[in-house]
Structure formats: C-alpha cells, structure tokens
Amino acid sequence: GAVVSQHPSWVICKSGTSVKIECRSLDFQATTMFWYRQFPKQSLMLMATSNEGSKATYEQGVEKDKFLINHASLTLSTLTVTSAHPEDSSFYICSAGPGHHPYNEQFFGPGTRLTVL
Amino acid sequence: GENVEQHPSTLSVQEGDSAVIKCTYSDSASNYFPWYKQELGKRPQLIIDIRSNVGEKKDQRIAVTLNKTAKHFSLHITETQPEDSAVYFCAASKTGGGNKLTFGTGTQLKVEL
C-alpha cells in the first residue's frame, strides 16, 4: 500500500508557542491530504482538507487562523498549531490517497502526539 | 453532511467467539465503507473495505456486509484472538465528496482468554 509519514511523532511545547507538523506522501503524489484530530478514547475528527496549490477547506468549528495548513507540493502538507494552549493537546493524524486508487482509499500517517504545557 | 453511528462502544468476547460491530450512515450517496483497526497510540490500519456495488466481502476471519437500502454495514470477526483486541472504526465516504471520510465513534473490542 501507499506510505504516508509524519514528523515529528511527538512534541511537547510551552503554552503560546507554535508547532509545525509535516505530512508526506512517500511513494505517490497527493493533491489532497486530510488532517484529523483525535482526543483520548474518541474518534477521528476531520479538521480540514489540504489542497495542493490552493487554500485548505476547514470543517465547521475549526479555527483556520489557529490551525494553519500549507500544501505547497504534491507530497507535503504542513499543519501549524499557532499559539498552542493545553486544550490543543491531542493526537494529530494526516491521511492521503493516490489519485489512481479506485474509490477513496486513504492511508494514514503514524500521527503526532502534541502536548502543550 | 454524512453522519455515521457505530455500536456497540465496547465489546468483550471470549477467545474463539465471533464479534460483530454495526454502523449506520445517513448519506445515501456514500459508496465506500472502510473499517479501520487502531491500537493504542498507533495509526488506523485498514482491515477491510466494501464498495457500494457489492453486499458482502470476506478476507479470512474478517467479513463486512452492506445493506444499501437500510444504510447500514457491519464488521464480522470470527474465531477472535487476543491480538484482535483494539479499537475498530467504521467510516463512509462518497465519490465526488473529496474523498473525505466520516468516521464512526469507535468500538473497543476486548478478546478475553
């Protein structure tokens, strides 16, 4: 299957700082990537759809000025959590799928554990 | 938008028994239904999926059934083993919907010895 990587796998930061998370498709090009947030013992909640070369599409209730998404190439999308606060602590996961795959199969990155002190 | 409900939230079975997890969806245009297994702190792993043009799919001990009329689909795991213990998520998406997945709330499966 296709491979998606994320970096870093975990990060601890102080309240008020910004954190950047990278999502890469290693063996395919992805015009679209997805960013999810998962709180403990909860489901994956879609935050936004990252579109290569254009603005991201945010889900209702997600602050676009707080969660900045950049999809500058066909293999890389970044999520920047600006002015992070403890309530932003969560597991952030990206996904992407090769465009040639039938239907809508998505492959997930390993996730990034963010802890804001 | 799409809404996916999943039941039960927790499921405990004895090793060797079968486990069934059920999901319902709201958008009749949804046509792709994957199931993911997620171990603690790990990424979701696709275990099986089904397209809307078939009613059932099987892969060894795992099977999925789809009832388009009723808008529900189910995951069946037979001969459960301790390593099947994990959280299972169903999801739904549709062609033209930007490949966006809507997830169910998850089922914590525990297989007891």
Contact A109, A117 (CB under 8 A): no
Look at residue B47 in the predicted model and tell me its pLDDT. Answer: 96
Say what percent of chain B tops pLDDT 70.
97
Alpha-helix residue ranges (DSSP H) falling in chain A: none
Query: What is the distance of C-alpha B19 from the center of its chain?
Result: 11
Q: Which chain B residues touch A43 with a CB distance below 8 Å?
A: 89, 103-106
Look at residue B109 in the predicted model and tell me its pLDDT. Answer: 98
| Shortest Cα–Cα distance, A48 to chain B (Å) | 10
Look at residue A98 in the predicted model and tell me its pLDDT. Answer: 74
Helix, strand, coil proportions of chain A in percent (round to 5)? 5, 50, 50
Q: How many CA atoms are closer than 13 Å to the CA of B31, on its beta-carbon side? A: 11
Mean pLDDT of all residues in B99-107:
92
Per-residue tokens: A44: 């994956």
Cα A52 from Cα A46, distance rounded (Å): 18
Say what percent of chain A tops pLDDT 90.
74
Q: Residue B92 — pLDDT band, cuts 50, 70, 90? A: very high
Q: Do A113 and B106 touch (CB under 8 A)?
A: no
Mutate: best of B57, B100, B105, B107, partner A, most A CBs <10 A = B100
Q: Which chain A residues touch B31 with a CB distance below 8 Å?
A: 103
Look at residue B58 in the predicted model and tell me its pLDDT. Answer: 96
Give B7-56 pLDDT, tens digit per residue.
Answer: 999 999 999 999 999 999 999 999 999 999 999 999 999 999 999 888 99
pLDDT at A30 over 90: no
Cα B8 from Cα B23, distance rounded (Å): 9
B107 shares contact with chain A (CB less than 8 Å): no
Q: Residue B72 — pLDDT band, cuts 50, 70, 90? A: very high
pLDDT at B97 over 70: no
Average pLDDT in chain B? 94
Per-residue tokens: A92: 């952030």
Q: Do A104 and B103 touch (CB under 8 A)?
A: no
Question: Whats the size of chain B, residue-wise?
Answer: 113
